[in-house]
Amino acid sequence: MAVWPANGATDWNTKSRAFIDIEHDGTTGKHLVDTKYAPVDSVTTRIFTKYFTGTTDSDTSTSVSHGVTGIDNILSVQVSIFDSGTGVYRSPGWLAVVNTDKSITVSYSATSIIMSSMGADLQGQKYRIKIEYVV
């Protein structure tokens, strides 16, 4: 992650815009927004990537503002949350019927990434989010 405040900005949208034109060279790993080119609907398109880290709330739901304009511009969202019970990062899709303490559901809206139905082992734990989107 980039060292804050890189450009003196205090809000997420300004920080994001400050890094949006930096191409990641694969060596430093210090970036907030990464870019690449890929076909989207058969058109070569510049794809941006945002990274978020933080801590889930100490209840069953956490919402993280993503700052991407237009819900249909989001191509993918990946979430991993630290599981305090086993000491590993978990991604959504782990079956709640196996162990409800490790369950998680992830969705996104026009403004936020929503982690809900979080089991006890995922509450108050570190998370990592990666969003790929177009502008």
Q: Residues 61, 52: contact at Cβ < 8 Å?
A: no
Q: Residues 110, 98: contact at Cβ < 8 Å?
A: no
45/6: higher pLDDT: 45
pLDDT score of 63:
95
Q: Does the 33-133 domain belong in CATH 1.10.3210?
A: no
pTM: 0.69
pLDDT at 2 over 50: no
pLDDT score of 56:
94
